[in-house]
Amino acid sequence: GTHYFIDGTHTVVGEILFPTPCDLLEVDATVMESYPEQIVLDFNVINNTETCTQVMTAQRFKVSADASDAATFTATFMGRPVELNLKPAPEGETPDEFEVFIKG
């Protein structure tokens, strides 16, 4: 994902490949009370269909949390710890420039 820090708000945007277009991605951010703060990104998948075409599909996400610039990140995927690969945003770019498509 790409990490933005603007006016006290951390925003992470990115995408994850899933085996079907029926797999919907949800992500929540929790800020732990410590200093520096620890931000936990919780990724979960929802799929309420019994059958779905097997086509690799990118699910995009955008999540924000207010914390100091010294905050650190960890992540879980379906409750299991995962490695989070963040790159800093290019100078002058904002998270709104990353298109996010939300299925509804």
Please check the confidence at residue 59 and state whether its pLDDT lies above 50. yes
* pLDDT given for residue 91 in this prediction: 87
What's the confidence (pLDDT) of residue 100? 44
Side-by-side strand order, sheet with 57-66: 57-66, 9-18, 2-6, 87-88
pLDDT in tens, 8-33: 999 999 999 999 999 899 999 999 99
Give me the chain's average pLDDT, please: 90
For residue 103, pLDDT beyond 50: no
Using the predicted structure, report yes or no on whether residue 102 has a pLDDT greater than 70.
no
HEC states along 9-68? EEEEEEEEEECCCCCEEEEEEEEECCCCCEEEEEEEEECCCCCCCCCCEEEEEEEEEECC
Say what the pLDDT of residue 97 is.
79
Which carries the bigger pLDDT value, residue 54 or residue 48? 54
pLDDT of amino acid 101: 42
pTM: 0.86
Q: What average pLDDT does this structure show over 48-70?
A: 91
